[in-house]
Structure 1
Amino acid sequence: MIVDILFSDFFGRALAGGVLIGITAPLIGIFLVLRRLSMIGDTLAHVTIAGVALGFLINLYPLAAGLVFAVLASFAIEKLRKAYKSYAELSIAIIMSGGVALASLFFTLGMGYNTDVMSYLFGSIYTLDSTDLMVVGGVTVVVIVVISLFFKEFFLLSFEEDAASVSGLPVRMLNMLLTVLTALVISTAIKIVGALLVSALLTIPVAISLLIARSFKSSVIFAVVISEIAVVIGLVIAGIWNLAPGATIVLLLIAMLILTMVGKRKFSS
């Protein structure tokens, strides 16, 4: 029976979607962590849920509605960050509040759809269909291409935004581009790990890689590898013991982080 599950079509789609998100989440996450914008993941996830709820309400493809909401929220965050330069975290708090409020409103209006929307809160990777995989795959290609083209620019922006501006880089455009990419990744990841856990996939692999990597490039590679290990092993464990896939992946990442911290302490002492 276990073999039947692991080799079933739905598990194959789940694994494919998980592997794709396992690439894009840490690729974006490392720039967010270095810029101290880790909480932007939770913010855009809440806004995406509002879009998903509206999608169910008006009979529109939920992931597409959530993606549109996330991208619009990313533009709003950048606008607010510019308005409150000394209090940039205010933009995240304001947009998160708006996202939660809209989601609550749409929940109230569409009581019959609450069960469907709840699957996006906690993840429903086993229900991925071919359309979902196409969307996730498209976002993965976009993220990889953009990061490859602007890797040096994003690197400089993450460590010293003022220096990047002085050197003539289009800081405003790069900030917007990174925020939009974050919105795309989060809006496609919520069906895989859930809105409540998506931030973990953005940050925990990066947190582990920063403990063991000796350069920025190696930290990027380690983050992606760690993410993929957690996704694949987590999905297999969840499939065998009938556990929640998103929660299993995140708890596995936390266990890996603890083991890395303990191991580093032992080797350094």
Structure 2
Amino acid sequence: MNLFDVLSHQYMQYALIGALITGLIAPSLGIYLVQRKMSLIGDGIGHIALTGVGVGLLTGASPVLTAIIVSALGAVAVELIRERGRTSGDMALAILFYGGISGGVFLVQLAPGKSNANLTAYLFGSPLTLNPTDLVVMGVLGACVLAVTLGLRPWLFAICQDEEYAKVSGLPVRLLNLLLAVMTAVTVTVAMRSVGLLLISALMVVPVAAAQLVSRGFRGTMALSILGGLVAAGAGTTISAGFNTATGATIVLTAIALFVGVAAVTAVLRRLRRPAPAPVSAEPPECALDC
């Protein structure tokens, strides 16, 4: 199946658009999480978002809306615990991780008429079922995330580098931290239909890791990581259609392949640019003869 055949189907067009929205916003937020050494927070938020999905399925409400509310509350709780230092960040993340996924599975199984297929669709993504309404919701939420990650970039960069200095400079550190936590929850929720709750964290981190191999500046790294996210999302969706594989997993594997390729190329270029060692003279230096 060639690219034209893939894109000729409307459901594939919707799937590609949804994947591109995810590939655009995930690295733009992930770069801040990487800077704060909280790369795995996306996993924790993804697991607690599953509880929100379960609440929606059980009550008949929109799973997207309940997932946003529950995951945002969980993200804020973790941020406040981390800030006040009552327990370690790792402990809070572990509670979020296991409690979230357990609560989600429990509630989904209680929902009437629901099966494990519904659970799998949210965990690993189901982009082929996207419709125009889903894309509008994803687009609006994605625009909100980009407005924060790009519009507040200097402030968010400051708190990620040195919170104490940011406080002295007069920045609203707590508000920015909470805003970043909520945007993480929104990003995870946007991606749950296209990539999946269990895989979105990889799309937040891997393109950023690849960009850091090439760029040293924050602005350049952000631009390259967003480009990498778009390439991985677009190529992964197309490959998954051609080989009939899971879209979310294929997107993540494409991102990892991109990282490996960039790492290999940069390693070769670094070796080629390494200056040749100075030739060693066979004769002893004059000072040695004088001595």
Q: Provide TM-score, normalisation by structure 2.
A: 0.88
Matches within 5 A, 1:1-269: 3-84=4-85, 87-110=88-111, 112-113=113-114, 114-269=116-271
Amino acid at match of 2:44: T
Query: Does the residue aligned with 2:197 lie in a helix, a strand or coil?
Result: coil
Q: State, as a whole percentage, how many aligned pairs show the same letter.
A: 35
Structural RMSD (CA): 1.6
AA at the equivalent of 2:110: L
Aligned-partner residue type, residue 31 of structure 1: Y
Following the alignment from structure 1 to structure 2, what is the Cα–Cα distance between the partners of residues 197 and 94? 19
Aligned residues, how many?
269
Structure 1 residue matching 2:14: 3-state secondary structure:
helix
Displacement of 1:72 in angstroms is: 1.1
Q: What is the CA–CA distance in structure 2 between the aligned matches of 1:264 and 1:21, rounded to whole Å?
A: 27
Output the CA distance in 2 between the equivalents of 1:102 and 1:245: 26
Aligned-pair CA distance for 1:45 = 0.4
Secondary structure, aligned partner of 2:61: coil
**Deviation per CA, 1:168-187, whole angstroms, max 9, x where unpaired?**
11100000000100100001
Q: Which runs of 5+ in 2 are unaligned?
A: 272-291
Query: How big is the shift at 1:4?
Result: 4.1
For the residue of structure 1 that corresponds to 2:60, the secondary structure is coil
Asked if the contact 2:210–2:259 (Cα under 8 Å) also holds between the matched residues in 1, the reply is: yes
Amino acid paired to 1:254: I
Which structure features the higher share of helix residues?
1
Matched-pair contact (CA < 8 Å) for 2:81–2:87: no
| CA displacement 1:9-52 (0-9 Å, x = unmatched) | 11111111111111110000000001011111000101111111
Larger Rg computed on CA atoms? 2
Q: Contact between 1:122 and 1:195, CA under 8 Å: does it hold in 2?
A: yes
| CA distance in 2 between partners of 1:131 and 1:48 (Å) | 20
Q: Secondary structure at the match of 1:193?
A: coil
8 A contact 1:76–1:95 mirrored in 2? no
Structure 1 length normalisation: TM-score? 0.95
Cα distance in 1 for partners of 2:200, 2:51 equals: 15
Check the 8 A contact 1:41/1:198 in 2, yes or no. yes
How far has the Cα of 1:108 moved from its partner?
3.6
Q: Distance in 1 between matches of 2:21 and 2:210?
A: 20
Mapped contact 1:17–1:136 kept (Cα < 8 A): yes
The gaps in structure 1 that reach 5 residues or longer are none
Contact kept in structure 2, 1:6 and 1:239, CA below 8 Å: no
Shift of 1:111: 7.1
Taking the aligned partners of 1:53 and 1:192, their CA distance within structure 2 comes to: 18
Give, in whole Å, the separation in 2 of the partners of 1:268 and 1:111: 58
The AA in structure 1 aligned to 2:192 is I
How much does 1:86 deviate? 7.1
**How far, CA to CA, are the matches of 1:70 and 1:76 in structure 2?**
10
